[in-house]
Amino acid sequence: MNRQIESIGNSGLHYFGSMSASIAHEIKNALAITNENAGLMEDLSLMVIKSGQPLDPERIARLSRKVMDQIKRADNIVKKMSLFAHSVDEPVKEISLNEILELTLDLGRRSALSYGVTLAPVECERALSIQTNPFLLMNLLWLVIKSACTRVNSNKKIEVLVSKEDKRVNLCIINLLPCQQGEEKKREIITLANFLDAEVDMNNKERIVIALNENKA
Amino acid sequence: MRVLLVDDEIDYVSTLAERLSFRGIEAQWASCGQDAMKYLETNQYDLAVLDVKMPKIGGIELKKEIEKKYPYMKFIYLTGHGSEDDYQKGVADSVYYLIKPVNIEELVKIMKKTMEENPN
């Protein structure tokens, strides 16, 4: 029991740290672009003072729009960061599976890109909700998706298909190649899945399936 | 000084290139390692400024690829990441390692210093 809790704790901390670093990196990029565009506006203004040549107002308008775009980008990132931070508020909660899945993929997109992999947006016919630990579910989803990134097929695009079967919700990660999963990572995933009363099938050659109970008390 | 800038954020790297040109530095930008290697085939550069974290091939791996073919080139790392691990890699590589957002005058100073410290 202690080993299980230690494994889940370590996994959670690692996930939280990894996503926090990724978020920080994204915000830094938005700040860097804002810095350069604001700096360019300053450079152009100084050139006008020096040379007396008129400033192109359309150019300034374009640069201003770029600054506003990056502010919007950073704001979106911070909103997601806040949702992520609040995922630890309650140990069990009824949540929208669609939203949790989308948030997990959004947070992980840049990490996936470092593997040369894109994560397709979630397509789900209907809204699905489950009762579970939101943060640990995101952790499990990310562990599985990250594992999938190391075995994606030539498509280089991971898709998650969502379906419902009685009281179970299945998440099917497709476009994979057959690959032997490392034992340590497999144990980490299974430990987390067991805690969440979920099942993860990693034995299929071209897909990984996560089966979730609709109601985890 | 002819500089090659490599960063996957196009809005960042293209604007940086323009600002450097206002300061008398000829700068070409590329948004990935593949494009950078293509530019290197047809143009000569003194210095490459590389973003550390890029999809597919990051700055540290790209430096190794460039050095194999163009051993005379000098390098600077740029990153938004700022991890101690990446900093140590920069130190081990004897490469300046700057964290975004960068003050452009500081960047120009480091570029000139890099060229002076490692003359061809």
**CATH code, domain with A41:** 1.10.287
Q: Does residue B119 carry a pLDDT above 90?
A: no
CB contact under 8 A, B19 and A39: yes
Whichever domain contains A151, its CATH number is 3.30.565.10
Architecture of domain B2-107: 3-Layer(aba) Sandwich (3.40)
pLDDT tens readout for residues A119-166: 998 877 788 889 999 999 999 999 999 999 988 888 899 999 998 888
The pLDDT assigned to A1 comes to 66
Helix ranges restricted to H, A94-156: 97-114, 134-149
Cβ-based burial of A38 (10 A; exposed 0-12, middle 13-18, buried ≥19): middle
Q: How confident is the model at residue A217 (pLDDT cuts 50, 70, 90)?
A: very low
A19 neighbourhood in chain B, CB within 8 Å: none
- Segment A21-31 mean pLDDT: 93
On average, the pLDDT of chain B sits at 90
A206 in the same domain as A115: yes
On average, the pLDDT of chain A sits at 90
Query: How many domains does chain A contain in total?
Result: 2
Q: How confident is the model at residue B87 (pLDDT cuts 50, 70, 90)?
A: low
- DSSP helix/strand/coil, A151: coil
A50 in the same domain as A72: yes
Last residue of a domain, one of A86, A116, A146: A86
Last residue of a domain, one of A62, A86, A110: A86
- DSSP helix/strand/coil, B43: coil
The complex scores an ipTM of 0.88
A106 in the same domain as A182: yes
Burial B2-38 (b: 16+ CB within 10 A, else e): ebbbbbbbebbbbbbbebbeeeebebbbbbbbeebbe
Interface of B with A (CB under 8 A): 9, 11-12, 15-16, 18-19, 22, 53, 55-56, 58, 80-83, 99-102, 104
CB contact under 8 A, B12 and A36: yes
Which domain, by its residues, includes A174? 93-213
% of residues, chain A, pLDDT over 70: 97
The pLDDT assigned to B83 comes to 67
Last residue of a domain, one of A35, A53, A86: A86
- Segment A79-100 mean pLDDT: 94
User: Of all helices (H) and strands (E), which one includes residue A161?
Assistant: strand A157-165
pLDDT tens readout for residues A183-204: 778 889 999 999 999 999 988 7
A124 in the same domain as A206: yes
